[in-house]
């Protein structure tokens, strides 16, 4: 086989976490800031998501401590509102979503036999813009001691009108929230278009759509959900910004507006967002279970098409969040039916996973344990979700802790368990090292026990009448013991996450890389590459002959894949600061509206300067050599 033309390592640094031995720390750090390598961007997403996940977890611990006993005053009511607003916003937009994006970035090009995403610098721009949005959302925590106004977002992560209007939320708190979410929306949509075009155009020869790994399929469905749903919340936020800054009345009844318009727009985004969060975990589990069951995924085409069906039906169920708003019998009945229907493709996936496990040669690695935990916890969350397809039941439970238990079983028991399975499964590929299996089993036990200890009692107190979003409660209502148990469970989860971070650091400090290309005897193309992969992934683009190419070739079940003899030109965009500059410019421009809410002229001047910087960044991007 002819040796392909490799990129200059001084220009295209390797994608491993550490720099070369003779490379200064400053040069190593700059190489990460300037990178457009999808693997490095995936790692940056993962580290950022872990930071924000811990931040959201600390907010949750303070919330649970406040509710541990009746009448406590760990925080005041205003701070409590800010904490549960930022906890929900952080976990959804800055925790689980970017954790999924880390896997998308790192794995999709490897799984389809590509050298990178189709627009590498747009990929870098998406990450830096995401980071800017996360900073803007959380900078109010730093500003609070220095300003004489409410700046920490405190209108709930759902931002219901008219509570977010200027009359009820003075100060800049909601403006920070609106600005941060707008920035995150642009970042998500840029990444979404990038991955859609990548998956359709950069697949290896022979990789038909039905030969793609299930994780790549779920990634594709998620990207369509992103580009179709995020415009809804973008419109909702723009209308809210106009109400707050320019005196319009889109959500104000006295001016002819309608507060329910916000709910329709928000949940038109919000329910597809649930599947944006859970489908990546479903894709991960669909890779992990077959590998550690030593069997192909049972009914893989059904798993794929059920994921597509979930994505399609996800746009037709949004108003089950609004059964209590008085939409009328016809609307309630139609959305009740669609909510029941979406349980069918979800059930198909669950039965296919169980059939995959049945009769398999199970290896109970930590990744497998988290995948099995996902199936159990997500099924429980789904069963409680079917209850809320009934409007009479939903009317009773809508504003109770029963719903809090339901969506945490779906989003933590589902999405987070799936993501943890993915970390343990693909960490050897990303780093060349194994996370400790003995530590991993302890971590799984702590997280599993802590999760159920925290959230299962919420079903009980919710059914007993404990409302959501309350700062405290009176003694004698029968809620004291369950709330104390829930708080204890939250701290058990925290210990599990702490041990995970310690093990992650311990593993990365190890110098030896003992993981080979395919330590799990898995089936998809990423396991052809070195661990960690080269900067260009593949020396020669593989040709694919089956849906399990690596496993089939390894075990003599067929050709699987081949590496053609010949020479390939490898082009990788050189490192660049332009994506970072453009991300800062876009975030600066949107933040100017935040400034305009307090000082109009200053905001206008800031917007003009940001526009100039944006134009410079765009033109220098396009004119930069190697683009």
Residue spans per domain, the chain: 42-573, 582-627
Q: Are 450 and 493 in contact (CB under 8 A)?
A: yes
Can you tell me which residue has the tokens 């690695």?
Answer: 365
Mean pLDDT of 586-612: 91
With both helix axes pointing from N to C terminus, report the angle between 480-509 and 417-431 in degrees, rounded to the nearest 10.
Answer: 10
What is the per-residue pLDDT for 622?
Answer: 87
Residue 570 has pLDDT above 90, yes or no: no
Tell whether the model's pLDDT for residue 16 goes beyond 80: no
Using DSSP, state whether 392 is helix, strand or coil.
helix
626 pLDDT band (50/70/90 cuts)? Answer: low
Instruction: Say yes or no to pLDDT of 17 above 60.
Output: no
Q: Closest Cα to residue 82, out of 544, 469, 602, 384?
A: 469
pLDDT tens digit sequence for 162-176:
899 999 998 899 999
Is residue 229 scored above 80 in pLDDT?
A: yes
Q: Lowest-pLDDT range, 155-159, 176-180, 433-437, 620-624?
A: 620-624
| Long-range CB contact pairs, 404-409, < 8 A, 24+ | 404/455, 404/458, 404/462, 404/468, 405/455, 405/456, 405/458, 405/459, 405/462, 406/381, 407/381, 408/381, 408/454, 408/455, 408/458, 409/377, 409/378, 409/380, 409/381, 409/384, 409/455
pLDDT digits (tens, 9 = 90+) for 244-303: 988 999 999 999 999 999 999 999 999 999 999 999 999 999 999 999 999 999 999 999
Q: Is the pLDDT of residue 121 over 90?
A: yes
- Rounded to an integer, the average pLDDT of 201-219 is 96
Question: 183-217: buried (b, 16+ CB within 10 Å) or exposed (e) per residue?
Answer: bbbbbbbbbbbbbbebbeebbbebbeeebbbbbbb
Q: What are phi and psi of 562, to 5 degrees?
A: -140, 160
- In angstroms, the CA 111 to CA 284 distance is 13
CA atoms of 76 and 73, how far apart (whole Å): 6
pLDDT category at 23 given cuts 50, 70, 90 is low
Length of the chain: 627
Contacts for 575 with CB less than 8 Å, ≥ 6 apart: 11, 12, 13, 31, 34, 35, 36
Which two three-digit tokens encode residue 14? 């390797």
pLDDT band for 227, please (50, 70, 90 cuts): very high
Q: Is 326 left (phi over 0), alpha (psi -120 to 50) or beta?
A: left
What are the tens digits of pLDDT across the range 305-330?
A: 999 999 999 999 999 999 999 999 99
Span 53-71, average pLDDT: 96
Least confident of 22-31, 194-203, 616-625: 22-31
User: Which tops the pLDDT comparison, 212 or 574?
Assistant: 212
Structure tokens at 147: 């300003």
Q: What is the mean pLDDT of residues 39-54?
A: 97
Q: Name the pTM for this structure.
A: 0.94
Mean pLDDT (whole number) for 552-562: 91
Contact, 274 vs 267, CB < 8 A?
no
Number of H helices, E strands in the chain: 20, 2
42-573 CATH choice from 3.40.50.300, 1.20.210.10, 3.40.50.980, 3.40.50.2000 = 1.20.210.10
pLDDT digits (tens, 9 = 90+) for 354-374: 999 999 999 999 999 999 999
Cα–Cα distance for residue pair 90/63, rounded to 1 Å: 14
Q: Is 467 helix (H, G, I), strand (E, B) or coil?
A: strand
Residue 123's pLDDT band (cuts 50, 70, 90): very high
Pick the more confident residue, 266 or 11.
266
Give 627's pLDDT tier (boundaries 50, 70, 90): low
Query: What average pLDDT does range 117-144 have in this prediction?
Result: 95
pLDDT value of position 256: 92
pLDDT value of residue 11: 39
């Amino acid at each position: 086989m002819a040796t392909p033309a490799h990129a200059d390592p001084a220009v295209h640094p390797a994608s491993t976490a550490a720099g070369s031995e003779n490379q200064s720390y400053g040069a190593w750090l700059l190489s990460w800031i300037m990178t457009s390598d999808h693997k490095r961007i995936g790692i940056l997403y993962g580290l950022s998501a872990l930071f924000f996940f811990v931040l959201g977890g600390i907010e949750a611990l303070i919330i649970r401590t406040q509710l541990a006993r009746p009448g406590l005053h760990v925080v005041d009511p205003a701070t409590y509102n800010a904490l549960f607003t930022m906890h929900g916003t952080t976990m959804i937009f800055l925790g689980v979503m970017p954790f999924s994006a880390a896997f998308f970035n790192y794995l999709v090009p490897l799984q389809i036999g590509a050298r990178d995403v189709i627009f590498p610098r747009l990929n870098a721009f998406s990450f830096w813009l995401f980071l800017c949005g996360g900073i803007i959302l959380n900078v109010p925590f730093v500003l609070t001691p220095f300003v004489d106004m409410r700046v920490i977002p405190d209108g709930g992560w759902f931002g219901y009108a008219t509570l977010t209007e200027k009359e009820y939320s003075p100060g800049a708190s909601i403006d920070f929230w609106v600005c941060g979410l707008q920035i995150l929306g642009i970042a998500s949509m840029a990444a979404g278009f990038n991955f859609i075009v990548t998956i359709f155009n950069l697949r290896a020869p022979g990789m038909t759509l039905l030969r793609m790994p299930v994780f790549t399929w779920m990634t594709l469905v998620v990207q369509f959900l992103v580009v179709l749903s995020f415009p809804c919340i973008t419109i909702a936020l723009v209308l809210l910004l106009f109400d707050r800054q320019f005196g319009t009345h889109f959500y104000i009844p006295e001016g002819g507006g309608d507060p329910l318009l916000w709910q329709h727009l928000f949940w038109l985004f919000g329910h597809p967002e649930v599947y944006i969060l859970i489908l990546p975990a479903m894709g991960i589990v669909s890779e992990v279970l077959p590998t550690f069951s030593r069997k192909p995924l049972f009914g893989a085409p059904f798993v794929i098409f059920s994921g597509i069906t979930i994505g399609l039906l996800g746009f037709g169920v949004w108003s089950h969040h609004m059964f209590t708003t008085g939409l009328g019998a016809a609307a309630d009945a139609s959305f009740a039916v669609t909510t029941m229907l979406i349980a069918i493709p979800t059930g198909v996936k669950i039965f296919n996973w169980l059939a995959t496990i049945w009769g398999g040669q199970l290896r109970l690695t930590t990744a497998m344990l988290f995948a099995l935990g996902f199936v159990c916890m997500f099924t429980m969350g789904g069963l409680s979700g079917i209850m809320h397809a009934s409007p009479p039941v939903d009317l009773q439970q809508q504003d109770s802790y029963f719903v809090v238990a339901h969506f945490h079983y779906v989003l933590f028991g589902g999405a987070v368990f799936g993501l943890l399975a993915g970390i343990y499964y693909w960490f050897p590929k990303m780093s060349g090292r194994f996370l400790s299996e003995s530590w991993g089993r302890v971590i799984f036990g702590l997280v599993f026990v802590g999760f159920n200890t925290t959230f299962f009692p919420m079903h009980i107190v919710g059914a007993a009448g404990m409302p959501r979003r309350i700062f405290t409660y009176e003694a004698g209502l029968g809620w004291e013991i369950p709330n104390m148990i829930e708080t204890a469970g939250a701290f058990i989860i925290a210990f599990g996450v702490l041990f995970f971070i310690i093990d992650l650091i311990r593993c990365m400090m190890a110098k030896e890389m003992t993981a080979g290309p395919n330590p799990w005897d898995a089936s998809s193309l990423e396991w052809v590459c070195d661990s960690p992969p080269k900067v260009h992934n593949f020396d020669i683009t593989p040709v694919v002959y089956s849906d399990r190419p690596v496993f089939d070739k390894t075990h003599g079940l067929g050709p699987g894949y081949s590496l053609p003899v010949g020479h390939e030109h490898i082009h990788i965009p050189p490192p660049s600061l332009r994506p970072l500059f453009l991300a800062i410019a876009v975030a600066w421009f949107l933040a100017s509206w935040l400034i305009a809410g307090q000082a109009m002229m200053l905001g206008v001047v800031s917007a003009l300067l940001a526009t100039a910087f944006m134009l410079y960044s765009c033109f220098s991007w396009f004119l930069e050599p190697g683009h």
